[in-house]
């Protein structure tokens, strides 16, 4: 699974416009290695957020970015179940960490939970960064941020 999802995602993100997303994926993998699954899950969410931003989506959090990705044809209506699931998993990891206090020494998230999230988010990033629109009637594929970077 790693060679089918994570390696191609990291290779895809080598493009400089995905530099922040690549850094977040790297952090997620490092957190997995350090057995910090809740942090790995959060970093996977950051990678998705950075990817959507680089694709020109607008929003100040993952939910609004995903909604804008739908409007732009990057995600189809039937992708909603997938993105809802990812958002719920990320919210759960965040709430779990917050409920444990400042030490964050214990979390209900396991490395298996984090591997699942990192792989699902990695596969979604690969699909989003491809040049194939998800909606059949999408006419224009966004190319990077709208502010000229």
Per-residue pLDDT tens listing for the chain (149 residues): 556 556 666 666 666 778 898 899 999 999 999 999 888 988 999 999 999 999 999 999 888 999 999 898 888 888 888 888 888 877 776 665 555 443 444 557 788 988 888 888 888 888 888 766 666 555 444 444 444 44
Task: Compute CA distances 58 → 1, 117, 131, 134, 144, whole Å.
Answer: 31, 23, 19, 18, 11
Q: What is the DSSP letter of 36?
A: -
Q: Which residues of 87-109 are buried (b: 16+ CB within 10 A; e: fewer)?
A: bebbebbeebbeeeeeeeeebeb
d(CA 56, CA 124): 16
Virtual torsion, Cα 124, 125, 127, 133, nearest 10 deg: 110
CATH number of 2-129, picked from 2.60.40, 3.30.980, 1.20.120, 1.10.3470: 1.20.120
d(CA 89, CA 95): 10
Q: pTM for the full model?
A: 0.75
């Amino acid at each position: 699974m790693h060679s089918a999802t994570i390696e191609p995602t990291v290779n895809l993100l080598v493009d400089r416009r995905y530099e922040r997303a690549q850094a977040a994926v790297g952090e997620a993998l490092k957190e997995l290695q350090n057995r910090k699954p809740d942090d790995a899950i959060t970093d996977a969410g950051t990678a998705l957020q950075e990817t959507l931003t680089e694709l020109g989506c607008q929003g100040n959090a993952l939910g609004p970015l995903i909604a804008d990705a739908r409007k732009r044809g990057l995600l189809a209506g039937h992708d909603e179940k997938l993105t809802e699931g990812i958002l719920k998993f990320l919210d759960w990891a965040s709430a779990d960490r917050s409920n444990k206090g400042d030490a964050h020494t214990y979390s209900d998230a396991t490395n298996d939970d984090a591997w699942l999230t990192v792989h699902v988010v990695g596969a979604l990033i690969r699909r989003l960064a491809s040049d194939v629109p998800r909606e059949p009637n999408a006419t224009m594929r966004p190319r990077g941020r709208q502010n000229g970077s």
